[in-house]
C-alpha cells in the first residue's frame, strides 16, 4: 500500500512539473530578463558618461508572509548595474550601499533613483526609519557605480516611497515621490503622519485621488527647496481624477521625462496594473491624463523608468518571469516609441506592440 501511494505521489509530482513546464513554454514574453543571478526590480535607468546605469531594488526571499503593506518586500541593499549599450551584458558593480550603513534606517530598502550634478552622483532611497515610517534618504559617490555614503538623516520634509529625480534643461532638479497602501502616502494627507491611515485611504471614491508629490531640490541636491506640492493628474476637462478611478489615477512608481518641450508624467495605477501617462507644460503640473502605454506585466504591478540614448527611447521595467513570485522580480528593457501626435505607443509585455 505504501508503495502504491508513493508511486501515485511520484506520478502526481511529475504531472504537475510537466504542466508547469508546458505553461511556462506557452508564455511568450516581449523581452528576457537582464539579470538572472540575483532578483532585481524597480529599475531606475540613467545615461552617465555615455553608459547606461541601472539602479534597481534587490529582491530577496526573507520568508515574510505576503500582505497589502508589502512587508514581504524586505530588501536590504542595492546593486548597481551598467550597460555599454542596449543589448550588452550588464555588469554587476556589487553592493552600492547596505541598510546597516544608513544610520537612521530601520527596514525595507525600496525602489531607488539616482542623479548627477557638479561631479557628484546622488542615490535617493526610501526606507522605513526605526519607528517604521518611510522617509527618503540620499547618499553620495564620485562614481555612478558607487559605493555610496548615506547622509546621517533623511531629507527633511520627505516621506513615503519611490523617489524619481528629473533635471530640466535649465539645470533645476525636481523629486517626484509617493506610493499609497504600503507606501504610506495616504497617511500624509494633512502634512503630518497619521498612525491610523484608515481615515485617509482610498475609500473616499468621490474625492480627488491622492496625488504624487513633487519638490524642487536645492543646489546641493540634498534638501527640498520650497514646499512639497501635489502633482495633480486631471482629465480632459481639467478636473482631478477621483479616488474611484482605479484604471487611471496615480498609485505609485512615478517617472518624468521631457519630449518635444512637454513634461510626461508616467506612473503605475497599482492595483489595476497599468502604466499610465499624463502631460503638462510645467514640472509641477497639472498633468492631463492621456492613457495607458503598457499593459499589465506578470506580477502584482510594475515599476519603470524611461531614458533616451542614441536617438531612441527605452523603458526599463520588471516582471516575475524567473521566479513566478510577486516579491522576486527581474528587470527588463524594451524600446518606447512616441507617435507623431505626442502619444506613446502601447507596449504589450507578452510579445506584441
Which of 259, 249, 97, 256 shows the shortest CA–CA distance to 177?
256
In the structure, what pLDDT confidence band is assigned to residue 17 with cuts at 50, 70 and 90? very low
pLDDT value at residue 197? 64
> Which residues are identified as catalytic?
42, 252
**Cell 480632459, located at residue:** 236
User: Residue 61 corresponds to which cell in the numbers above?
Assistant: 526571499
Of 326, 331, 242, nearest to 70 by C-alpha is 326
- Does position 61 have pLDDT exceeding 80, yes or no? yes
Q: What are the boundaries of each domain within the chain?
A: 35-203+298-336
Residue in 292, 205, 294, 290 with CA at minimum distance from that of residue 245: 205
Q: What's the average model confidence in pLDDT over 34-45?
A: 98
Mean pLDDT of 160-170: 98
How confident is residue 201, by pLDDT bands cut at 50, 70 and 90? low
pLDDT at residue number 198 = 58
Q: pTM of the predicted model, to two decimals?
A: 0.91
User: Distance between CA atoms of 275 and 202, rounded to whole angstroms?
Assistant: 19
Residue percentage of the chain with pLDDT more than 70: 90
* Residue 353: band (very low, low, confident or very high) from pLDDT cuts 50, 70, 90: very low
Q: Which CATH number fits domain 35-203+298-336: 3.90.1150.10, 3.30.565.10, 2.40.160.60, 2.115.10.20?
A: 2.115.10.20
155-164, 194-203, 294-303: the lowest-pLDDT one: 194-203
Radius of gyration of the chain (CA): 21
Reported as a pLDDT band with limits 50, 70 and 90, residue 2 is very low
Q: Which long-range contacts (CB under 8 A, 24 or more apart) does 277-285 make?
A: 277/344, 278/233, 278/234, 279/342, 283/166, 283/168, 283/172, 283/174, 283/214, 283/256, 284/174, 284/214, 284/229, 284/231, 285/214, 285/230, 285/231, 285/232, 285/233
How far apart, in whole angstroms, are the C-alpha atoms of residue 330 and residue 59? 9
C-alpha grid cell, residue 140? 553620495
pLDDT grade for 69, boundaries at 50, 70 and 90: confident
pLDDT in tens, 119-148: 999 999 999 999 999 999 999 999 999 999
Q: What is the pLDDT of residue 25?
A: 54
Phi and psi at 79, nearest 5°, equal: -110, 140
Under the banding of pLDDT at 50, 70 and 90, the label for residue 300 is confident
Q: What is the pLDDT of residues 314-331, one digit of tens each?
A: 999 999 999 999 999 999
Let me know: does 159 contact 188? Beta carbons within 8 Å.
yes
Amino acid at each position: 500500500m505504501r508503495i502504491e501511494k508513493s508511486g501515485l505521489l511520484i506520478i502526481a509530482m511529475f504531472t504537475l512539473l510537466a504542466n508547469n513546464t508546458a505553461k511556462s513554454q506557452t508564455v511568450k514574453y516581449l523581452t528576457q530578463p537582464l539579470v538572472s543571478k540575483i532578483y532585481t526590480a524597480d529599475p531606475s535607468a540613467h545615461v552617465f558618461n555615455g553608459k547606461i546605469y541601472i539602479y534597481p531594488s534587490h529582491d530577496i526571499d526573507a520568508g515574510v508572509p505576503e500582505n497589502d503593506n508589502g512587508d514581504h518586500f524586505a530588501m536590504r541593499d542595492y546593486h548597481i548595474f551598467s550597460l555599454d549599450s542596449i543589448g550588452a551584458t550588464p555588469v554587476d558593480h556589487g553592493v552600492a550601499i547596505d541598510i546597516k550603513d544608513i544610520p537612521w534606517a530601520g527596514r525595507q530598502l525600496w525602489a531607488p533613483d539616482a542623479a548627477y550634478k557638479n561631479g557628484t552622483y546622488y542615490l535617493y532611497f526610501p526606507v522605513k526609519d526605526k519607528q517604521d515610517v518611510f522617509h527618503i534618504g540620499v547618499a553620495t559617490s564620485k562614481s555612478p557605480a558607487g559605493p555610496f555614503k548615506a547622509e546621517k538623516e533623511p531629507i527633511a520634509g520627505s516621506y513615503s516611497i519611490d523617489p524619481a529625480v528629473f533635471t530640466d534643461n535649465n539645470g533645476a532638479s525636481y523629486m517626484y515621490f509617493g506610493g499609497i497602501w504600503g507606501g504610506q502616502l495616504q497617511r500624509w494627507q494633512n502634512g503630518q503622519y497619521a498612525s491610523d491611515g484608515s481615515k485617509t485611504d482610498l475609500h473616499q471614491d468621490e474625492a480627488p485621488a491622492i496625488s504624487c508629490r513633487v519638490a524642487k531640490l536645492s543646489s546641493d541636491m540634498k534638501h527640498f527647496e520650497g514646499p512639497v506640492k501635489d502633482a495633480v493628474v486631471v482629465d480632459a476637462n481639467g478636473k482631478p481624477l477621483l479616488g474611484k478611478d482605479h484604471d487611471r489615477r496615480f498609485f505609485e512608481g512615478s517617472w518624468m521625462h521631457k519630449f518635444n518641450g512637454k513634461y510626461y508624467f508616467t506612473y503605475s495605477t497599482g492595483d489595476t496594473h497599468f502604466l499610465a501617462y499624463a502631460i503638462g507644460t510645467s514640472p509641477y503640473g497639472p498633468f492631463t491624463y492621456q492613457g495607458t502605454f503598457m499593459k499589465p506585466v506578470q506580477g502584482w504591478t510594475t515599476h519603470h523608468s524611461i531614458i533616451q540614448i542614441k536617438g531612441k527611447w527605452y523603458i526599463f521595467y520588471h516582471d516575475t518571469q524567473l521566479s513566478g513570485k510577486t516579491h522576486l522580480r527581474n528587470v527588463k528593457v524594451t524600446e518606447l516609441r512616441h507617435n507623431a501626435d505626442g502619444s506613446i505607443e502601447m507596449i504589450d509585455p507578452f510579445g506584441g506592440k
